[in-house]
Amino acid sequence: MELELPPHRLQLGQRTWLMGVVNVTPDSFSDGGKFFDEAAAIAHGLSLAAAGADLLDVGGESTRPGAEAVGPEEELRRVVGVIRALRRQCPRVPISVDTSKAVVARAALEAGASMINDVTALGGDPQMAQVVAQSGAAICLMHMLGTPGTMQQDPRYDDVVAEVKEFLQAAAEQALAAGVKPSQLVIDPGIGFGKTVDHNLTLLRRLNEFRSLGYPVLVGTSRKAFLGTVTGKAAAGRAVASAATVAIVAAAGSADLVRVHDVAEAKDAAAVGDAVRFGYSPAP
């Protein structure tokens, strides 16, 4: 299977691909405020690419629990220049835009992005499916229970894996009905988005069950709160714990792409996990 990110193309099933996070926000989960300035965000994106990121995910709206929504003008102001600069300065690395607004997605694609990472799985903006269908860009459909404002207030499931799968299947069907091609779709169980620690661990343990949906799987565990619960560490000290999850999913072959803040650590973890899965062969 291949994921087309024009003009790039990722061969899936050969190794775990690393999506480096560039948050141009004052208030994200773990790095809010650090790269809020455009020049700092661009430099950060370039450093992630140099550390081995296979694609970069640029976001201008925080989805941290309880985060305030950002208007489209402000989100456009934050991400478009960063995407344009990264496209120009680092043409080898495809760019994804972390947005649920169609107007931001469209502008980001024009600026050089080739994937939309929509944490609302097309539920946030009725125009989004059309933007994806018309552009041919890849789209990541992520599961969230509720909204960032409410999602961590006592989330409940009878069977978290079955319910998240059902949601992603329905979101994929909605995309296909709007004219999106199956080859454009990526799915993500949305670790931390309306889930308890136990829900997150169960999703990771049973991540391979999402394979039956037939789409590439992306997972984002990086620096998230459940790792803080498990290790007792604050967000900035969760790079090793985050890398451990990358090794686990790589060895299990349960994810094609991992969304990470600490690319250098994740790269080693993915290399070890991939080597356990496939055996070791030196890079050509």
Chain residues binding ligand PMM by CB under 6 A are 21, 23, 28-30, 62-64, 98, 117, 119, 140, 142, 188, 190-191, 218, 220, 223, 259
Question: How many CA atoms, within 13 angstroms, populate the side-chain half-sphere of residue 210?
Answer: 34
Nearer to ligand PMM among residue 98 and residue 256 (C-beta): 98
Q: What is the C-alpha separation between 145 and 51, in angstroms, rounded?
A: 33
Angle between helices 197-205 and 160-177 (to 10 degrees): 70
| Angstrom distances, CA of residue 252 to CA of 208, 213, 247, 258 | 8, 17, 8, 13
Nearer to ligand PMM among residue 75 and residue 278 (C-beta): 75
Nearer to ligand PMM among residue 188 and residue 274 (C-beta): 188
Nearer to ligand PMM among residue 30 and residue 254 (C-beta): 30
Instruction: Report the amino acid identity of residue 265.
Output: E
Nearer to ligand PMM among residue 42 and residue 191 (C-beta): 191
| Angstrom distances, CA of residue 126 to CA of 69, 102, 139 | 17, 8, 15
Report the run of H or E that residue 248 belongs to, with start and end.
Answer: helix 239-252
Burial (Cβ within 10 Å: 0-12, 13-18, ≥19) of residue 107: buried
Residues with active-site annotation: 224, 259
Classify 270 as helix, strand or coil.
helix
Nearer to ligand PMM among residue 23 and residue 135 (C-beta): 23
Cβ at position 90, least distance to ligand PMM in Å: 19
Cβ at position 156, least distance to ligand PMM in Å: 20
Cβ at position 259, least distance to ligand PMM in Å: 5
Total residue count of the chain as it appears in this document: 284
Burial (Cβ within 10 Å: 0-12, 13-18, ≥19) of residue 182: exposed
Cβ at position 88, least distance to ligand PMM in Å: 24
Say if strands 185-188 and 218-219 run parallel, antiparallel, or are unpaired: unpaired
Is the alpha carbon torsion for 87, 93, 99, 101 positive or negative? positive
Which residue's Cβ lies closest to ligand PMM?
A: 220
Cβ at position 77, least distance to ligand PMM in Å: 19
Tokens read off for 232: 């007792």
Cβ at position 204, least distance to ligand PMM in Å: 12
Q: What is the DSSP letter of 253?
A: T
